[in-house]
């Protein structure tokens, strides 16, 4: 019996893996994406810029994404350090570059849902985890948790920073840690953000508020691990007070703080991007701290 061999198999079904699979299918390659759906609803958002938005428009139903996203019409940089002499505040506006927006801040859950729907109609989608990888001279065999086996001529490893697919290909990584942690959350406020993302630059790290739909914003607060641990211990009212002091009335009164999440900052990069019929993409290729919204934009560039 002749084996059914795909041109491309993508291991991993997050936004990076789904985008890679859809891009391959759009290019006329017979493609399968293998990976379980998210175990829990992702409450985070991703700020995606021009190139990523254009890719989404080509691969998925942008009309479903845009109404639930917030346009990023400006980026404000504020020197919030303690030095006597500070740099002047700078505001970059999209209209100055002839654009309506630099990009959009998109809920990850909506992004994944729309990409999943596009995948179901454009390629073969297996909702199972990759359990073992066998690399042969002319193909790669992927065994799955569903008891099936998938064969492909080329595999895209988009299965995260601890990628087992990358390891099977013998691709090594360089890793490093930062003396910082990040705290992320979503909150409501009384003053209009006007589509402007504000970055308060401090000696210990930036505190960034990114516009969300309506009168909501997303927080990325980078600080020392001890300070982030202290902030995590506060109840919502105390934490809101602390954040209001840092923002100094920028967004008015704050409320409706979502559950806060925190994590240590680290970096990782693959020492090569392709070997033994495997290409790495997304966090399997590069892990970057949440500064400047580089992470998922780089993953979409990989796609």
pLDDT of residue 38: 75
In SS3 terms, 60-82 reads as: CCHHHHHHHCEEECEEEEEECCC
Residue 270 in this model has a pLDDT that exceeds 90: yes
Q: Please state, in angstroms and rounded to a whole number, the distance separating the CA atoms of residues 242 and 237.
A: 9
Residue 43 in this model has a pLDDT that exceeds 80: no
**What is the overall mean pLDDT for the chain?**
93
Does the pTM of the predicted model rise above 0.85? yes
State the pLDDT confidence band at 4, using cuts at 50, 70 and 90.
Answer: confident
Cβ neighbour number for residue 135 with a 10 Å cutoff? 16
Cβ neighbour number for residue 270 with a 10 Å cutoff? 22
Query: Distance of alpha carbon 178 from its chain centroid, rounded?
Result: 19
Contact 46, 111 (CB under 8 A): yes
Residues 6+ apart with CB under 8 A from 163: 11, 12, 157, 280, 283, 284
Cβ neighbour number for residue 188 with a 10 Å cutoff? 17
End-to-end CA distance of the chain: 33
Three-class secondary structure of residue 288 per DSSP:
coil
pLDDT tens, residue by residue, 114-153: 999 999 999 999 999 999 999 999 999 999 999 999 999 9
Residue 40 in this model has a pLDDT that exceeds 70: no
pLDDT tens, residue by residue, 173-231: 999 999 999 999 999 999 999 999 999 999 999 999 999 999 999 999 999 999 999 99
């Amino acid at each position: 019996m002749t084996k059914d061999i795909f041109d491309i198999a993508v291991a991993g079904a997050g936004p990076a893996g789904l985008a890679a699979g859809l891009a391959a299918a759009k290019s006329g390659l017979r493609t399968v994406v293998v990976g379980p759906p998210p175990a829990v609803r992702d409450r985070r958002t991703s700020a995606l810029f021009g190139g990523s938005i254009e890719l989404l428009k080509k691969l998925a139903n942008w009309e479903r994404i845009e109404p639930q996203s917030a346009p990023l019409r400006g980026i404000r940089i504020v020197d919030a350090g303690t030095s006597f002499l500070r740099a002047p505040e700078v505001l970059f506006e999209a209209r100055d570059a002839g654009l309506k927006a630099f990009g959009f801040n998109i809920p990850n859950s909506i992004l994944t849902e729309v990409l999943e729907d596009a995948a179901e109609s454009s390629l073969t989608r297996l909702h199972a985890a990759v359990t073992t990888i066998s690399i042969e001279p002319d193909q790669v065999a992927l065994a799955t948790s569903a008891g099936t086996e998938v064969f492909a001529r080329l595999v895209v490893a988009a299965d995260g920073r601890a990628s087992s697919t990358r390891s099977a290909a013998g691709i090594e990584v360089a890793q490093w840690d930062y003396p910082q942690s990040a705290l992320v959350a979503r909150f409501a406020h009384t003053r209009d953000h006007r589509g402007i993302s504000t970055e308060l630059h401090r000696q210990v790290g930036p505190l960034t508020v990114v516009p969300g739909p309506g009168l909501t914003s997303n927080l990325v607060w980078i600080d020392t691990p001890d300070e982030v641990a202290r902030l995590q211990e506060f109840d919502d009212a105390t934490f809101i007070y602390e954040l209001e002091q840092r923002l100094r009335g920028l967004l008015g009164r704050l409320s409706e703080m979502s559950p806060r999440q925190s994590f240590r900052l680290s970096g990782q990069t693959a020492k090569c991007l392709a070997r033994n019929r495997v290409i790495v993409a997304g966090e399997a290729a590069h892990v970057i701290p949440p500064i400047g919204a580089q992470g998922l934009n780089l993953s979409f560039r990989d796609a």
